Structure 1
Amino acid sequence: MKHLRKIMLTIIFLAVITVFSLIMFETAQNEPPKPAYKSSRHYGDIHPHFVAISDSRVTIEQHLDEHRSKGILEAHFSMPQSGIFKDVTSSRDDYFIHIATEHNIKTLLFQTTDSDKDGHGVFRWIGSKSLCTALADYKGNIPYSNSCTSNMEETFSAQRPEPKLRFKLPLNFKLTKEVFQLGTVSSFIHLIQNGIISNDGVVFVGDLQVIPYSCLARPEAIQASKKHFIRAIKDKLDKLPRYGEVFVITQFWSAAFYHGMVESLPRLSRYIGFIDHRSEIKIYVACTAFMNSSLQTLFPSRNISELVICDNIGPILAARVYFPEGTPCGMYKSPQSGVYQMSREFEKYISPSIHIPPKNYIILIKRTKHRILVQHDVIASFLNNIAKQNDMELFIYADDNLPSFSDTRKLFHQARLVVAPHGAGLANTLFSTPGLFVIEIVCNHPHLNLCYRQLAISLGHHYHGVSSKFGCEATLNVDVNEVKDAVQFYMKHIVKKKNL
C-alpha cells in the first residue's frame, strides 16, 4: 500500500507540474515579446516583411515602383475574427515585432552609411539665466535636457547630429526573442494592402490598429480612436469611400498650423517626386488653407483638388496605403525628422521669387489672443532702433493682420533674426535659411514647452530661449534686459555676416 501511495502521489505531482507548465506557456504566448537587443549593420537575416535599402530618393522610388507593379486589388476589408484590434505605435520597442505578424504590411527601411551627409550642422542652443533656472526646477513629464548654458558664444559650436538607435527589428520569424537594434536606419515607410484610414491618421489593417508616432500616441487618445472605430466605422464598412492608392500624412491635431506644418507635412519629404509623377496616388491630409497652399507650392503642376483627399470626409478604405514614419508630438525624440528636408524643398520655390538683393528682416511676432507679450511695445521700439542702425527692416508679424501665405514664406526666408512669444508663428521658420537667430519667450512653469527649440535645432538655426516670469497661458511677462542682451549679441554677428 505504501508503494502504491507513493506512486499515486508522484502521478499527482507530475500532473500538477504539467498543468502549471501549460498555463505558464499559454500566458507567455499572450504577453508582449521581451526582446533581447543586438546591435547590427547586417540585414541579411531580418524578417522577410522588411527590406533595407539606401536612403536615397532614386532607390526609394525604384522600390516603391516595384511594389506598385504587382497590381492593385479591389479595396476590401474584413474585421478580425476576435473583433478586437491590437494597437501598435512606433513609440513602442516591440512595434516592428507586431508589424511583422501582419502579411498585408511590407516595410522599406532606409539605411544610411557613415559617409552620408545630412547637409546641415546642429548649433548649441542657449538659454537665458531665467530659462536655465526654470529647466533646473522643472518637474514635468517631458524629459527636457537640462544641459542649459547662458554663454551665447556657445551658439557657434556647430556639430553634426549624433545618430541615435531608434529601431528594433525582428530576426526571421523569431518574433518573441531576439531583435536587431538598427543604428543605421534613418526612417521607414509601410506599404499596406487593404487598410482603413481614419481621420486621425490611424490605419486599421488585419487585426492591427497602426498608429503613427504622433500626438495620438497616448493611451487615452489611442483608446478613444479604437472606440470611435467600433462606434462609427465597424458597421459601415460597405459604405466607406474606396480609393486605389493613398499616401497618408494627416496626424492627430494636424489641422492646427504648428502640427500640420512641422509634424504632418514633413512626412512627404522623401516622396514628393514619386507622388508628383504618379497621378493615381492621392494624399490623405487635413485640408486647411495653409496645407493646400503648401501642397500647391510643392506640386505646382498638379490640381490640388484632385491630388488630395480631405480627412474631414471621415474614414476611407484604400487598396494600397503608403504610410511613412510619423512625427512625435512636439518633435521630441526625433532628431532624424524630415523637417529639414522639407525646409529645403520650400527653398527651391521661394528663392527664385525674391528680388535681388534680398531684404534683411528682423521679425517680431505679435500675438493678440493668447500668450500676449506684455512688453511687446518696449521690445518693438528697441528692435526698430536696432534695425535702423544696421540698414535692416523690422516687420511686426501680427496674428490679427497676417500677410498672405506666399508673402509669409518670402518674409521668413529673408529674416535674419526672429523674436517671438511661444506660439505657432514660429513654425514659419521652416521657410528660413539655415543659420537664422531665433529668440523665443518661453512659457513659465507649468506651461513650459520647448517644441520650437527642437524645431530650430532640426532646421540648423540658432536658438535662444528666455523664460516668462509669470502669466502664461494668457500673457507672457519677460525680463526685457534678457531679450535686449541677446539681440545685441546676435546682431553683431548678423551685421558682420551681412557685410561680408
Structure 2
Amino acid sequence: MCLVLAVIVFVVYCELYCGSKLDLMYDFLGLHHDIADDRSQLASDYGVRNVPLFGTFSKSQDKDESQPASFAMIRGALKSTNVSHHFSDDLIVSGGVRNSSDKDDTDVGNSGRIFHSSACVTSANVMEMRDVLMYRPKPYSAFWVDVDAPLLYRLKVYNLAIGILRAKIRRERGYRIWSDPAPSPVVIWASRDDFFEQLSNFTHIQTVALSWIRSECSDRNLLIMSYPEWIASEPLCTWIRTPGHTKARWDAVYNRTCVTELDAALRERPLEPLYLHAKPINPNHYWPNKGLSYPWHFYSDPPRHVLYLHVAEDAIVTSVGDIFSGSVKIVPYSCSHDLTPSKPEGYSQALIFSEVFIMSGHWGSGHFHKSIELIPRIAPYLDFLIKHPDIMIQVSETGGRTANTLIIFGIRKERLVSGSLRAKIAYLPQATPCGFGQVQELQVLSKLYRDHIRSYKNVKSRNIVVIHRSGLRRLTDASHIEMSIEKLAAEYGLQFRLYHDQQLPSFEDTMIMFNEAVLVVAPHGAGSSNILFCEPGTFFVEFVCNQPHVNMCYQHVAHVLGLRYHGIPSEEGCEDHIKVNPKLIEFVVRTKLEQWKHLQAVRQS
C-alpha cells in the first residue's frame, strides 16, 4: 500500500515539475503509449514496410552513401534554428534553417523540413528518437505530418501526432485553471486566403497538419482517386454553365465536365483538384451575411494539406462551433456565421470541460448538413478519440443520426454535449462550407460505414432504391414512376426498395438498404445523403431542380465517393415540386441497368 502511494505521489510530482521525465516513469510502469509497437502494428495492418513515422526523407547532396541521422545530430541541427514552438526530447521539432556545420546527413532546409537520409526508420530508431514531427513556419506555422504512405496509414500516424501534442499541452498546463479570453478578440475567418498565416501570429493556438504528398491525386492523399464521368440530361449541362442558374459557382464546383453521352458512365477520370478545396459562392444568389464564411476564390492546384486540426487552450466554444481563445475568435467554414466578435451571452455560466472535440455547426440539425458536413469531421480522428475517452464531443444534436453513427464507431453517447461551453483544451478540426463536404472526410466516413455493414452482413442482396418525398421537391406522378421502376427491377432480377420519408426505416436498415443498392433514384433532397452507405460504382440518378434553383451538392458527394451520377432536370415547379417526363426516367433507368449488367459480366469473365 505504501509503495502504491509513493508511486502516485511521485507521478504527480513529475507531472508538475519533471516534464518529459515522466515518460520514463510511465515506461517503467508499462503505462506509456509505445510508439514503436504502434508503428509495427500499422505496418502489419496496411502492408507498409520501411516507412518513417514522421518526415520527408531524401539523400544528402554531400555524400554518396547516406546513413540515418542520429537523435543527437538532429537536435544539434535544431539548436541552430530560431524555433518559437518546440517539444521536449520525446518529440523533435524543426524550425527552418540549414546548419552548415553539421557533418551528418541531416538537412534542415529552407522549407523547415528535416530531410533524413534514410527512407527507413527502424523500431530502434523510433525508440531512440521517439517521433519526428516537423514544425514549419512556411507556408504557415504548423506541426506537419509528412509521412509518405497510403492515406489510411498516414491517418493513423496523424492521430498519433495529435495525441503526442495533447500529452505535451497537458503536461505543460498541469492543474492551471481555465482563463477567460480577451474581451475584444481579433476575428479570423477560415475562408480567408491568409487564414493560416494570420493564425500563426497567435502561439496559444497550435495546428497539426497532414501534408499533401506530391502533386497528384494519389493514394497518399485520397481513398478514391477517380470517378465515372458525370452525366446529365439536357438542359442541365447548359444550365450549370449559365451565370445565375446555380446556387454555387459552376466553374469551381463542376469543372466543365458535364456530358450528355450515356455511355460515359463507364468511363472514369481523375478527381480534379478543384474538388479538394472549399468552394466559393455564386454572388448572384443570396447567401447568409454575404457569404463571408465561404472561400474568396477557387484554386486549380491541390491544397497544401490533406487535413488539419487546431488545438486551442482556454476556449469558449459557441453552439455552432466558433471558438474564442486568448485574443482570437476563429470562424470556421460554415453555412452561416455570427458577425459580432463578442462572446456568447451567458458564457460565464457555461460548463467548463477539460477537453472538447468540436463537430458542431450552423444548421447542424438538418439531415443533409449533419450527414455531409458535420459527422464526417470526426471520421479521420476516431483513433485519437477512442484512445482518449475523457475528451467530450460537442455536437449540434446529442441524439438521432449523430449519436447512432458515433455509437457504431465506438463513441459512447455520454460523451456528447451540445450548446455553448468552455474548454481548457479544444480540438477544432477543419470544417467545410455549405453544401460541398470535405473530400477525405467523406471518403473516410463512407469507408467506415461500409466496413461496419460488412462486419455483420456477409451475404448481400441486390436492389434498386427509390426515394419518395412527400413535401418540398416531391416528384409529380410519383406512384406511376415508382411502379415503372419496380417492374424494371423485377425484369433485371433485383429487389425494389422504397425509402419513404413518412415511413423511415431504422438507421441500421437504412445503411443496409443503400449499401445493397446497384441503383439509387431520387428527387433532390436530404434522403440522398444516404449514398454515403453505397459502394463505389453504384449508379445514382437524381432529379434536379429547374433553374435558378439548380443545386448540385449531391453530384459532388457522389463523385468523391466514386458513384456513377446522372442528373435529370425538372421541367418546372422547384422548390415546390419536381416534374420529369416518366418516359425519360424509364429510358435512363433501363440504360443504367444495362450498364450494370455489362459490368457484372465483365467482372465474372
State the TM-score, normalized to the length of structure 1. 0.80
Alpha-carbon distance between aligned partners in 1 of 2:558 and 2:493, rounded to the nearest angstrom: 26
Of 111, 115, 119, the match for 1:42: 111
> 1:273-331 CA deviation, whole Å, 9 max, x = no partner?
111121111111122311111111111xx5322x211x2xx211111111111022111
Summarize the Cα distance change of 1:52–1:141 in structure 2 as closer, same or farther, 3 Å threshold. same
Deviation at 1:102, TM superposition (A): 1.4
Deviation at 1:184, TM superposition (A): 4.4
Deviation at 1:354, TM superposition (A): 2.3
- Is the 8 Å Cα contact of residues 310 and 428 (structure 2) preserved in structure 1? yes
- Is the 8 Å Cα contact of residues 86 and 209 (structure 1) preserved in structure 2? yes
Summarize the Cα distance change of 1:427–1:97 in structure 2 as closer, same or farther, 3 Å threshold. same
Of 232, 249, 269, the match for 1:127: 232
- Is the 8 Å Cα contact of residues 373 and 431 (structure 2) preserved in structure 1? yes
| Pair 1:316 & 2:414 matched | no
Alpha-carbon distance between aligned partners in 2 of 1:478 and 1:383, rounded to the nearest angstrom: 14
Alpha-carbon distance between aligned partners in 1 of 2:436 and 2:533, rounded to the nearest angstrom: 17
SS in 1 for 2:481: helix
| Pair 1:52 & 2:144 matched | yes
| Pair 1:338 & 2:428 matched | no
> 1:118-171 CA deviation, whole Å, 9 max, x = no partner?
23222221111131232243415621134421112222222332345859xxxx
| Pair 1:282 & 2:392 matched | yes
> 1:351-384 CA deviation, whole Å, 9 max, x = no partner?
132252x111101100112111002122112111
Deviation at 1:75, TM superposition (A): 4.9
Of 179, 188, 191, the match for 2:311: 191
Alpha-carbon distance between aligned partners in 2 of 1:79 and 1:323, rounded to the nearest angstrom: 17
SS in 2 for 1:394: strand
Alpha-carbon distance between aligned partners in 2 of 1:369 and 1:166, rounded to the nearest angstrom: 33
| Pair 1:104 & 2:215 matched | no
- Is the 8 Å Cα contact of residues 254 and 264 (structure 1) preserved in structure 2? yes
What is aligned with 1:462? 564
Root-mean-square deviation (Å): 2.3
- Is the 8 Å Cα contact of residues 181 and 315 (structure 2) preserved in structure 1? no
Alpha-carbon distance between aligned partners in 2 of 1:456 and 1:162, rounded to the nearest angstrom: 14
Aligned length: 427
- Is the 8 Å Cα contact of residues 126 and 463 (structure 1) preserved in structure 2? yes
Alpha-carbon distance between aligned partners in 1 of 2:536 and 2:177, rounded to the nearest angstrom: 44
Deviation at 1:337, TM superposition (A): 3.9
- Is the 8 Å Cα contact of residues 312 and 425 (structure 2) preserved in structure 1? yes
> 1:435-455 CA deviation, whole Å, 9 max, x = no partner?
111110011122211111101
Deviation at 1:101, TM superposition (A): 1.6
> 1:86-142 CA deviation, whole Å, 9 max, x = no partner?
322222101112211212111111113246442322222111113123224341562
Alpha-carbon distance between aligned partners in 1 of 2:497 and 2:110, rounded to the nearest angstrom: 50
Summarize the Cα distance change of 1:151–1:64 in structure 2 as closer, same or farther, 3 Å threshold. same
What is aligned with 1:156? 266
Alpha-carbon distance between aligned partners in 2 of 1:372 and 1:190, rounded to the nearest angstrom: 41
Matches within 5 A, 1:307-386: 307-309=415-417, 311=418, 314-331=419-436, 334=438, 336-356=439-459, 358-386=460-488
Matches within 5 A, 1:49-448: 49-54=141-146, 56-70=154-168, 71=170, 72=173, 73-80=175-182, 83-114=183-214, 116-117=219-220, 118-120=222-224, 121-139=226-244, 140=246, 142-144=248-250, 145=254, 146-163=256-273, 183-216=303-336, 221-223=337-339, 226=341, 229=343, 232-233=345-346, 236-237=347-348, 239-286=349-396, 287-299=398-410, 302-305=411-414, 307-309=415-417, 311=418, 314-331=419-436, 334=438, 336-356=439-459, 358-448=460-550
Alpha-carbon distance between aligned partners in 1 of 2:599 and 2:228, rounded to the nearest angstrom: 17
State the TM-score, normalized to the length of structure 2. 0.67
Deviation at 1:477, TM superposition (A): 0.8
Point out where structure 1 has 5 or more consecutive residues left out of the alignment: 1-39, 168-180
Summarize the Cα distance change of 1:130–1:377 in structure 2 as closer, same or farther, 3 Å threshold. farther
Alpha-carbon distance between aligned partners in 1 of 2:583 and 2:112, rounded to the nearest angstrom: 55
Structure 1 stretch 399-408 or stretch 345-354: which is displaced more? 345-354
- Is the 8 Å Cα contact of residues 134 and 467 (structure 1) preserved in structure 2? no
Alpha-carbon distance between aligned partners in 1 of 2:591 and 2:429, rounded to the nearest angstrom: 41
SS in 2 for 1:470: coil
SS in 2 for 1:292: helix
Alpha-carbon distance between aligned partners in 1 of 2:449 and 2:481, rounded to the nearest angstrom: 30
- Is the 8 Å Cα contact of residues 74 and 244 (structure 1) preserved in structure 2? no
> 1:63-103 CA deviation, whole Å, 9 max, x = no partner?
222212222454523342xx333322222101112211212
Alpha-carbon distance between aligned partners in 1 of 2:493 and 2:420, rounded to the nearest angstrom: 53
Deviation at 1:43, TM superposition (A): 4.0
Amino acid at match of 1:210: I
SS in 2 for 1:149: coil
Alpha-carbon distance between aligned partners in 2 of 1:471 and 1:166, rounded to the nearest angstrom: 32
Point out where structure 2 has 5 or more consecutive residues left out of the alignment: 1-108, 114-135, 279-300
Instruction: Return the structure number with greater strand share.
Output: 1
Deviation at 1:250, TM superposition (A): 1.0
SS in 2 for 1:330: coil
Alpha-carbon distance between aligned partners in 2 of 1:124 and 1:315, rounded to the nearest angstrom: 43
SS in 1 for 2:472: coil
Structure 1 stretch 249-258 or stretch 424-433: which is displaced more? 249-258
Summarize the Cα distance change of 1:166–1:43 in structure 2 as closer, same or farther, 3 Å threshold. farther
> 1:460-480 CA deviation, whole Å, 9 max, x = no partner?
101111111111111111122
SS in 2 for 1:222: coil
- Is the 8 Å Cα contact of residues 193 and 319 (structure 1) preserved in structure 2? yes
- Is the 8 Å Cα contact of residues 123 and 155 (structure 1) preserved in structure 2? yes
Structure of higher RCO (CA pairs closer than 8 Å, 6+ residues apart): 1
Deviation at 1:183, TM superposition (A): 4.4
